[in-house]
Every structure is written in C-alpha cells, then in structure tokens.
Amino acid sequence: MIIAAAFLPIIIVILFILGITVFFMRKRGKSFNSNKVKWTFIGYVVILVISVVFNEIFLVDKTNGKSLSPREMDMMSQRLFTNAIHGNLTKSENKFIAKKWEFPYSDNKLHLKVAREANQGGLIVIDRKLENDGKVEAVFYQTPVGVGTEEITSKLKPVQLDLAGNTLTLIEPNSLKFSFSKSKNEFTITQFNGEKWADQSPQSYLGQRLLYIKIPHDVNIVDESNLNIQYVGLTD
C-alpha cells in the first residue's frame, strides 16, 4: 500500500512530461518516436521507479513500537514524576517498570549509598509506609528513550540494588554507546515530497529514570549517596 501510494506522484509526473513532450513535438512538426527523446524519457522514468522502490524498501524508518512525539514523551515523564513524589503511582505506570526488588528488613536505619559515581539524571523517591511490615521494596521506572523514531529503551539496563546489613547500595550499569546514521533522499524522491535536508534532524528524548523505594514506617534513611532524593509528602 505504501509503495503503491508512492507511485501515484510518479504517474502524475510521467503523464505531465508525456503531455508536454507530445505538445512540443507536434508543434515543431517532429515525431515523438525520435530515439533520442524516447530513450531520455524512458531512462528518467526508470530512475524514478528505482529510486522510489529503493527508498520504500531499504530506507524506511524502523521502530520498536509506536512512534511518539517529544511532547508525549515529556508528558509521560512528567506524569510519572508527579505521581511518584505524591505517592500516587497507578497501574498506568506499570508499563514503565524495568525491575523490582523486595528485601526483608528489621533495622531502624537504612544507609543509602552508591558503588560508583551515579548518573545524576536519575531520581530516587522514598515512600514511608504506614506500617512496619519488615520489608524494603523498590521499583525502577524508565520512560521511553529514543532518537528520532528509533526507540532504544529496551537496550538500557536498570540500576542494581544490593542490601548488605543495614546498607542499600545502588550499582549503576556500565555506560552504553550508540551510533546513529541518517540518509538523505535524492532529487528523484524529494521533488515529490518537498523534503529538505534540514527537516531530517532527529529529535532525542531521554525519558525519566526513577527509583521508587518503600520503607517500613519506623525506618530512617541515612543518605550517603549525594543523589537527587525526594520524599513522598515532603514535596510541594
């Protein structure tokens, strides 16, 4: 269907060129069957057809799911952040869960630290439970991350948590390096869609990385991480 639609402007151009050529040939009293004119016309048509087919088959954007606009990405991240700091996370945020943990815990203090320098772009939200249930629970959320229409969220790894004694350690994953390339359509394509090279600059969206930790009511956090930590109910 996509390729068929792409051929429509080609057909229109062919008919237009054919009409103009026949008109001028008749006006000048020359035969349209002139080998030079005929083969020039045929060659141009062949180039058009090959260019469109190649563009649709080999240069089509490939995505891992629904393509979302930067505005939608920002709204998702903002909604997750707002719901988290107010302790109102709902089932709608479950699709952003990358990993979950549950640790038995009986101490009245929990030291929080990092194993190595952490990514300051992430956020930690601490939620104090109403009861002492003897459990520390944590959920890592990651909203979509991508460049242009290519989503790379699935390639990212969440933080790791390790509880030893009364110390909960955050272990950041190793940094990843991504390489992206883009192609520029030739005149045979851009003459139909009006595309400009400047129009192809991809937009990137980084998403929201958020670690949500629920602690028993009487447990106090001793922060040794120097990370961005928010407490549910203490943020306006």
What digits encode the pLDDT tens for the residues 36-81?
666 666 666 677 666 666 655 555 444 444 566 777 778 888 999 9
pLDDT at 221: 95
pLDDT of 236 > 50? The answer is: no
Q: 3-class SS at 90?
A: coil
Answer yes or no: are the C-beta atoms of 80 and 143 closer than 8 Å: yes
Answer yes or no: are the C-beta atoms of 110 and 222 closer than 8 Å: yes
Give me the mean pLDDT over the 96-120 stretch.
87
Q: Is 213 exposed, middle or buried (0-12, 13-18, 19+ CB in 10 A)?
A: buried
Burial 120-149 (b: 16+ CB within 10 A, else e): eebbbbbbbeeeeeeebbbbbbbbbbbebe
> What gap in Å lies between CA 203 and CA 196, rounded to an integer?
16
Instruction: Identify residue 157 by its one-letter amino acid code.
Output: K
pLDDT at 2: 45
The answer for 29, left when phi > 0, alpha when psi is -120 to 50, beta otherwise, is left
What digits encode the pLDDT tens for the residues 6-43?
555 656 666 666 666 666 666 655 554 566 666 666 66
What digits encode the pLDDT tens for the residues 149-159?
677 777 778 88
What digits encode the pLDDT tens for the residues 174-228?
766 666 566 555 555 555 555 554 555 566 677 888 999 999 999 999 999 888 8
Quickly state the pLDDT bin for 162 (edges 50, 70, 90).
Answer: very high
Q: Which residue has the higher pLDDT, 140 or 178?
A: 140
